[in-house]
Chain A
Amino acid sequence: MAKVTLTIDGKTVQAEEGSTVLEAASAADIDIPTLCYAKDLEPYGGCRMCIVKVEGIRGMPPSCTTRVAEGMKVTTEDDEILQARRMVLRLLMADHPSDCLSCPANLECELQALTKKLGVREHGLIHLDRQATLDESHPVFIRDMKRCILCAKCVRTCNEVVGAGAIGLINRGHRAEPAPFLGTGIKFSNCESCGECVEHCPTGALYYREPGPEPDYEVSTICPYCGTGCGLVLGVNKGKVIRAKGDPDNPINQGHLCVKGRFGSYEFVNHPDRLKTPLVRKDGELVEASWDEALDLVVQRFKESKGDKFAALASAKEPNEDNYIMQKFARAVMKTNSVDHCARLCHASTVAGLAASFGSGAMTNSIEDMEQAEVVLVTGSNTTENHPIIGNRLRHAIDKGTKLILFDPRDIPLAGKAVIWCRQRPGTDVAWINGLMHVIIEEGLADLDYVRERCEGFEAVEELVKSYTPERVSKITGVPAQDLVEAAKLYASGKPATIIYSMGITQHTTGTDNVKSLANLAMLCGNMGKPGGGVNPLRGQNNVQGACDVGGLPNVYSGYQKVTDPAARKKFEEAWHTDLPAEAGLTITEILEAAEKGEVKALYIMGENPMLSDPDVTHVEKALKATEFLVVQDIFLTETARLADVVLPAVTFAERDGTFTNTERRVQRLHQVIPPLSGCRKDWEIICDIATRMGYPMSYESESEIQDEIAELTPSYGGITYDRLDRGDQLAWPCPTKDHPGTPILHTKKFTRGKGKFFAIEYISADELPDKDFPMVLTTGRILEHFHTGTMTRKSKSLHALVPGPYVEIHPADARHYKIRDGEKVRVSSRRGSIELIAKVGRVDRGLIFIPFHFFEAAANVLTNPAVDPVAKIPEYKVCAARLEKSA
């Protein structure tokens, strides 16, 4: 970027061309007062506080909207400017309440600070209090518009940064104020409760109901929820975590947070229900025990269950280090490869499918990269709810011109932003993807040079998709033929175009087929290995990528080195000084089956809750009860822990160091915010203690030392060290050496497997289709305000207040048919069970119902079908047949 030279208050200043006078002054340590300026928002020029004088320009332009120019001479303060600024303040004060002492923003108010700074004590005008809205509808924050100074930061944040557009300025003059659509309470609007508006408000117009004390200190770390990997700054007061703010230095979220990050990320940490002592089952009851007593029992029983009699569940919520230690324990100490975790239940089909097509089963491009795409195809991802910060960035890109194609049966928030929105029948994804390819090939829009040069197996696909005409696909999927043609043309027109998907694609008995089909589509248009292109599975949990990477899977060691490969096995045997089992172990669903049959006698579960997360939980409960010895290591007494023989209290993410690998393969550093709560221990320490007591000494000084061992044994993590991460290096694997910058985009020159492989795939229907007895299609998923099995989010007061309990979404026409009104109690049944919950009319398509799976009191997974994908063994959470009726 070219530099220009200008003079500000007699000082010669260099500034980037295109930057503003305000930015140039600030860089030169010249302070110009502002009220409506925010670094992350577009210049607005609304408050007139930052006015300056520029030689040759009439009047006093606002420095926030005036661009620098070569030779410009700026005066930021003289008597005239000060007088004008004071007048602005006096006018603001003239209709602002003068009750500073009782205002929630007292001493933090920017208006108050400026009046003090510029010496304005009285406004000297006729006082006219603002007659504005007091909106107390929201459970977390209050909107008191009489304190509003119309800087519009809240409105601009909601539009520009979040992209929700929940508030706008309404009315005019003295009655103007920011308000939701139709001036209703914010709770009834499309507000996403992220709190960005409150964070941006310069006065007491927006404030939290329970602001909490000022922190004694703050520590930056990584959010424990979805796979986005936002940076958090946690504040601590008197040893307790009391608030979360977005980390402005984190390149992913750039200081912004969603509702879960802002409120849910810390409210559970010091919750009184935290487990603080080991529990041991005696006479059928879980009773408190010492660590020694509990671990002695664990060691004794584990010793009896070595080999195939043992299985372990690692955890997508735990850092890389703990997952590495868990799989090492299972393999090296217990001599079994039966270690798996809930990645099996979300993206196993991604790992299997993309590995087959490209050679690497992960997101191919970075989050930032998405903003360079001309066209984005989103399918099976409710991005703004389940990966909110990625969703926000996507909406931002759309506002800047990126075109969105959405395939989703539900009316999700992104639907309103889509150029084309197709509501396919759940379970018909292969058909519509083949249909798009049919059109692209027919219309001559395929990038055949790319296909010839970089890929193989195309001929079979070309032949197969001939029969997937728009008319035939329309019959299968329910999407109008014309929309399919338009969507195909639009996707092919994007140079580049990216594909974003999530569990709507993977959680099917055809999950692997769906993933491979998307890979076909991306290769067909030459979109792989380019900035702004790619196939991008959004990973659901903070460290689901990492837990897979470090070997929390039954068939691979860390870095996807196969346990059946003798060379890899030898390498790990030498590093771990022991012999290792040669056969691949059991997957999570197979572990539970084996447990029910009595083949797996001891099961060690770390930070997972299969009692809510696995399909057909009635069956899961049977299996866990049949397990002779069940050890659960967690932070709360979860539904699964209640069934355990020994419960071991672990620490939360805030009480420890470690690394999470986010959805874009970026390894990020967790920092200990508070010491472990009394009685709790880190997961890896507990496992090492058990191993040592079993005669296989495992001991590490710190998480950093474990990471060094991972780096030594894992080529893709080879160059990742705590030193580099602490220096601020942004490292996405593969990062093989200490001087390697990481790899934000995969498959740039060639595919990891060499050539990209096309797979010709026929459409197969879902395992269980609606019939006379169960006429509805049930699909399940997550919602904005809660996470996974609710273990953490349901302990958060704010999130609980926003969504206190379970519900089922029903189409208005179906609601009329079953005579069900919004808010009424209904019963939903499937072949496997039945639950009662509240009806919520809207969002889904006709014949479809949606139930979030976070709620134990009406667990969606009582109903779901345990049928699995034959390759990836992922269950079909997204389609089963169900019946809906009014509760008696």
Chain B
Amino acid sequence: MSNPASRENGVDGPITINGETVRAIDEIVKRYPVAEAALLPVLHKVQDQLGWLPVSALDWVAKRLGLPKTRVYGVTSFYTMFKRQKPGKHRIEICTNISCSLLGAEHLRDHIAKKLNIKPGETTEDGRITFDEVECLGSCGTAPVMLVDDKFYEKLTPEKVDDVLDKLNKDDLEAGGND
């Protein structure tokens, strides 16, 4: 059992949910007959603002919707798209479901892991890139595919992956290093 205050639980100080998010959440809640039904879209809104869901965000959502904290925590632990660890500046997500897998996605996954020197689910030491293995991204016709931030890359090969990563590095350097 982990320590309640450990980093692995996403303890990262107090948060501020901004007015825009609060307004969006109020709109969402209105659409559902019970607060619990709004839990998924509300969590997404909060994650959109913060980039992830620290403990204080789970607390905030539980209070806002009048749900037990355990219910909120349970839901975030069920769905992989809720980030419980502070992510890097960039997010790389590679699909390893059936079509991508048949076309070598596992090989690509290992290739990226080696290049970044982290395992899927982890963030590089400089906090720049979080790498994850995800379920189907809905583009089997162009498999294997990956998502870098909000951009889609298709029909991947190791060379193509290298290009994408190099470009990411270059862009960041030009933008003034890893802030």
Known: A159-B68, A168-B71. Is A184-B78 also a contact (CB below 8 A)? no
Interface assignment of B69: CB less than 8 Å from any CB of chain A: yes
Complex interface: stretch among A175-183, A470-478, A497-505: A175-183
| Mask: chain A, 137-176; 1 = CB below 8 Å from B; 0 = not | 1000000000000000001000100000111111110000
Q: Is B49 an interface residue (CB 8 A)?
A: no
Task: Kindly list chain B residues whose C-beta atoms are within 8 Å of the C-beta of A188.
Answer: 4
Q: Which residue of B lies closest to A176 (CB)?
A: B78
Contact of A171 among B2, B3, B9, B78 (CB under 8 A): B78
Contact of A180 among B3, B63, B70 (CB under 8 A): B70
Cβ contact within 8 Å between A181 and B69: yes
A181 near B73 with CB under 8 A, answer yes
Residues of A within 8 A of B71 (CB): 159, 165, 168
Contact A165 B74 (CB under 8 A): no
Chain B residues near A180 (CB-CB < 8 A): 70
Bound-state Cα–Cα, A181 to B71, Å: 8
Please tell me which one of the listed residues A168, A170, A184 contacts residue B3 in the complex, with CB atoms under 8 A apart.
A184
Given A165-B68, A416-B63, does the pair A170, B73 have CB atoms closer than 8 Å? yes
Bound complex: CA A372 to CA B131 (Å) = 53
Bound-complex Cα distance A152 to B142 (A): 42
**B70: contacting residue among A135, A137, A166, A417, CB under 8 A:** A166
Question: What's the Cα separation between A184 and B58 when bound, in Å?
Answer: 15
Does A457 sit at the interface, judged by CB under 8 A?
A: no
Cβ–Cβ contact B77 & A171, under 8 A: yes
Query: Are A182 and B78 in contact, CB atoms less than 8 angstroms apart?
Result: no
Interface string of B27-71 (1 = CB under 8 A from A): 000000000000000000000000000010010000100111111
A115 interfacial by beta-carbon distance below 8 Å: no
Once the chains bind, are A168 and B9 in contact (CB under 8 Å)?
Answer: no
Chain A residues near B66 (CB, 8 Å)? Answer: 417
User: Is B175 an interface residue, CB under 8 A from the partner?
Assistant: no
Q: Check A133–B1 contact: CB distance below 8 A.
A: yes
Partner of B1, one of A137, A168, A416: A137
The number of chain B residues with a CB under 8 A from chain A is 18
Q: Which of A169, A171, A182 has the most CB of B within 10 A?
A: A182
Query: Most chain-A CB neighbours within 10 Å: which of B3, B67, B71, B77?
Result: B77
Q: Which residues of A contact B4 (CB under 8 A)?
A: 181-182, 184, 188
Majority secondary structure, B binding face: helix
Residues of A contacting B77 with CB < 8 Å?
A: 170-172, 183
| Chain A 274-310 residues near chain B, CB threshold 8 A | none
User: Chain A: interface residue count, which band?
Assistant: 20 to 34
Chain B nearest CB, measured from A411 CB (Å): 13
Given contacts A182-B4, A188-B4, contact A168 B78 (CB under 8 A): no
Task: Report the minimal beta-carbon distance from B1 to chain A, rounded to whole angstroms.
Answer: 5
Give residues of chain A (533-580) contacting chain B, Cβ–Cβ below 8 Å: none
Task: State in angstroms the CA–CA spacing of A632 and B37 once bound together.
Answer: 60
Quick one: which of B3, B4, B9, B58 has the most chain A CB within 10 A? B4
**Interface residue? A104 (CB, 8 A):** no
Distance of A391 from chain B, by nearest CB (Å): 15
Residue of A nearest to B75 (CB): A168
Tell me the nearest residue of chain A to B79, going by C-beta. A172
| Alpha-carbon distance between A168 and B36 when the two chains are bound, in angstroms | 14
A164 to chain B, nearest CB (A): 8
A170 touches B74 (CB 8 A): yes
Q: Which single residue of chain B is at the shortest CB-CB distance from A172?
A: B78
The contact of B74 among A137, A168, A185, by CB within 8 Å, is A168
Q: A183 with B68: in contact, given A170-B78, A171-B78 (CB under 8 Å)?
A: no
Once the chains bind, are A165 and B70 in contact (CB under 8 Å)? yes
Q: State the CA gap A513–B68 with chains docked (Å).
A: 37
Q: Is the CB of A169 within 8 A of B74?
A: yes
Closest CB of chain A to B56's CB: distance in Å? 12
Give the complex CA separation of A417 and B67 in angstroms: 9
Residue numbers in A under 8 Å from B55 (CB-CB): 182
Residue of A nearest to B55 (CB): A182
What is the CB-to-nearest-CB distance from A862 to chain B, in angstroms, rounded to a whole number? 34
- Is the beta-carbon distance between A183 and B63 smaller than 8 angstroms? no
Of the A-B pairs whose beta carbons lie under 8 Å apart in the complex, a sample of 8, sorted by A's number, is A166-B68, A170-B73, A172-B78, A182-B4, A184-B2, A188-B4, A416-B63, A417-B66
Extra pairs beyond A159-B68, A165-B71, A182-B55 (19, CB < 8 Å): A135-B1, A159-B71, A166-B70, A170-B73, A170-B74, A170-B78, A171-B77, A179-B70, A179-B74, A181-B58, A181-B70, A181-B73, A182-B4, A183-B73, A184-B1, A184-B3, A185-B1, A416-B63, A417-B66
| The 9 nearest A-B residue pairs measured at CB | A165-B68, A168-B70, A168-B74, A170-B77, A184-B4, A181-B69, A170-B74, A185-B1, A182-B9
Question: Interface of A with B (CB < 8 Å)?
Answer: 133, 135, 137, 155, 159, 165-172, 179-185, 188, 416-417
